[in-house]
Each structure stands twice: as structure tokens, then as C-alpha cells.
Structure 1
């Protein structure tokens, strides 16, 4: 996201909340987050669904990856999701990448649909 552009933050959608909760649960270390108060901005990623979290930092930068998982999109193509924190250990991005670079169609509706890598997506 470009700091010079107007950024429009919004609440998380239900499927995004599910992804965030599952990734936090599976992460190697915990991260206290008030999910209802979170705000996100859609990233310019061709519709693959990546999100940037609103930050209290004036210049948030990538710090580290907490967890990675996969789910199948409606067309059966795998989507990898990665939860990243910034240099201050605050939520930074929920990165979403559809492996064929097309726009993501759906979000998972249950935690059973979210697989740990490496996973076979048959």
C-alpha cells in the first residue's frame, strides 16, 4: 500500500475472522488481539485477498511471519495465507496468494477447510 494514497479501512469479514483466528491458534507463539476492533485495508494484489492491518506505528514494516496455512478456493485452486507481524510485534498483514495468480473467489467457512502446510490439496 502506498502511504500517499487514501487508505480505506474496514472491519474484517466473517471468513477473514476465521482465517485470523485459525492462524493465531496455530502460530508458534500467541498474540493478544481484540478481533472486533481490528481494521484492515484491502491490498492491491489483483483480487487475491491480502489485507494490511491498521497500525499504531507511523511506519510499520514487516517483522516476521507467525503462521502459514492453505485452503481451496471455489475453483479448487490452492490459496496460501500467511499471518505477518510488524517490527513492533503488532499485526501487519494477512497475506493471501492464489497459486495460479487469479482473483480469490471465496473464503473458508470452517476451520476444517484450513490446512497446515505442507498439505496435499486433492
Structure 2
């Protein structure tokens, strides 16, 4: 069972952006109830997502619902994808820094 935490303000802001550009319909309080756990991705910043803070094991990938790109502080492109599980619930934030190095930081923006 992964150790969960609340998303950082930068993670929550990025998730908000991805959700707003998707067709997802989430409860108003999704940010307050969401828990996350870091994925083992060599420091790129990918997260498992747990709506309502409920850790449910054995969930399966459903589909990619949104994608975006930003530039890390070192000038390297980062591609982020939001995925849902087979039930249509938030599942994971996939982060890929295109040079395969660890992410320095998520963008500082409010959506």
C-alpha cells in the first residue's frame, strides 16, 4: 500500500489545468479530497491519484483524458498526461521529461 499525501500546490494547479481541458466531470471538492503517491519513475514526478483519499489496489488504466506540455527550469520539455482508471476515476498523472532526467519543478501557475 503506497504512502499517500496531499498534492503540492504546483501539482494541484497542474492537475486542475489538465482536468479543465478534459471532458471529466468531477465534484466541486475534488482538490480537497484527492490524495497522491509518487510513482517510481526516477524522479520525473509522476503520481498515482486517489480520489476521496481512498487507496484502492488493483485498479487498471482506463484512458488518457488530457495532455499538456511545459518547460522545466533547465529548458527541457516535459510532457504530462492525465489518466483515468477503468471506472473513469482519476488514476495517475504521468510525467515525462524528454531527456529522462529528474524533474526540477512543476510550473508555477494558477488555473
- TM-score (norm. length: structure 2): 0.88
Provide the C-alpha distance between the structure 2 equivalents of 1:111 and 1:7, rounded to a whole number of angstroms. 28
Among 1, 8, 25, which residue is 1:31 paired with?
25
Over 3 Å counting, the alpha-carbon distance change for 1:31 and 1:101 in structure 2 is: same
User: What residue is the counterpart of 2:37 in the other structure?
Assistant: 41
Count residues in correspondence: 106
User: Structure 1: where are the runs of 5+ without partners?
Assistant: 1-5, 113-122
Structure 1 stretches of at least 4 aligned residues deviating more than 6 Å after TM superposition: none
Asked if 1:13 is matched to 2:8, the reply is yes
Q: With the length of structure 1 as denominator, give the TM-score of the two structures.
A: 0.81
RMSD: 1.6
- Distance in 2 separating the partners of 1:45 and 1:59: 19
**Whole-angstrom CA distance in 1 between matches of 2:60 and 2:79:** 21
Residue 71 of structure 1 aligns to a residue in which SS? strand
Structure 1 residues 57 and 9: CA distance shift in structure 2, 3 A = closer
Choose 1 or 2 for highest CA Rg.
1
CA–CA distance in 2 between the matches of 1:30 and 1:86?
Answer: 12
* Structure 2 equivalent of residue 92 of structure 1: 91
More strand by share: 2
